Amino acid sequence: MVETRLQERSLTEQVDEIRSLHELLAAEFKSRADSLDSRFDRLEALMFNTSSQHQAPGKAPMDPSPQTPLHPKPTTRPTRSDRPLQQWTRSP
């Protein structure tokens, strides 16, 4: 019976420790999420302010597409039907 009480106390202590660690991790997670939200908001404001400064008054907004696309368009290769027919000649 003594062993069972010791095991029960040990399990209770472990559960309490797990709960306390869970609370600490949840608080840290919320803090990091809030920090990321704050940094994203600042980055978004910086991008908006920078792009609006490059726009001349009365002009259309800048084209946000890059000059060189990240994914270049695939080149179209001629198919067999597009190529002229080759005439084969025998060598003498």
If one counts every other C-beta atom within 10 angstroms of the C-beta of residue 1, the result is: 5
The pTM (predicted TM-score) of the whole model is: 0.44
Average pLDDT over residues 54-74: 59
**Could you report the per-residue pLDDT of 9-41, keeping only the tens digit for each?**
899 999 999 999 999 999 999 999 999 999 999
The token pair that represents 23 in the structure block: 């609370």
Q: What is the pLDDT of residue 76?
A: 60
Domain ranges of the chain: 1-54
Reference 62, options 46, 73, 50, 44; nearest CA is 50
Could you write out the DSSP letters of every residue in 29-82? Answer: HHHHHHHHHHHHHHHHHHHHHHHHHTSPTTSPPPP-S-SS-SSPPPPPPP-TTT
